[in-house]
Amino acid sequence: MIQIKKTASGFALLITLLVIGVVIAVTLAILELSLKQLQLSVNSRDSEIAFHAANAGLECAQRTRRIASTTIEAGGSLTFRCFGVTRSGVLNNLDGITMSTPPVRGDVRRYQADIQWGVGLDARCSEIDMLTIVASSGAVTATGILAQIPSYGTNSKTCAQGARCTIIAVAGYSSTCANKGQMSTLKREILLEF
């Protein structure tokens, strides 16, 4: 009689290692997918927060423009009062903006302010940039706007005689004004002209 020797030693260990390897690979793939989904959720939440900060800043700028229209058109000091916070609007120079000539029949004013609202981890920042063109005695064209408001899209704005044209650019951040330059902070912008 012939005897057949079966040598299956180590086969169970090999199968066990393969199964463990597959289980670990699947677990790591699921973990990586979960971490990516978590990051997407955080980015989505921060994007929404930044958008709401920009929208709140826009509402603040519109309210201030409506309440202080005479002051703005005269080039006086401006105060933004929103969210229980008061900030001075800095009247900035208008390097690069020129008015139609001859003669210059209007004026341009630009106010900027950073407004932080909320407290603690819920603090957010709205950065307001408001440009107002006053056409006094005839139609006025202001050129060089992109030098001041890069998101405007065109380099000039024409206002009809007697018009008060305003461009408001607001950036909202998902963090405080002090931390708005950090890499993890999201920024959303809203532009309005009237």
pLDDT reported for residue 51: 93
Residues of the chain with pLDDT under 50: none
Report DSSP state, residue 164. Answer: E
| 64, two tokens | 């201030």
d(CA 24, CA 80): 57
d(CA 149, CA 97): 11
d(CA 37, CA 41): 6
| 15, two tokens | 């199968």
pLDDT reported for residue 35: 95
d(CA 145, CA 191): 13
Domain ranges of the chain: 36-193
| CA-based R_g, the chain, Å | 30
d(CA 40, CA 170): 25
- The tally of CA atoms less than 13 A away on the side-chain side of residue 108 is 25
pTM, full prediction? 0.75
pLDDT reported for residue 102: 52
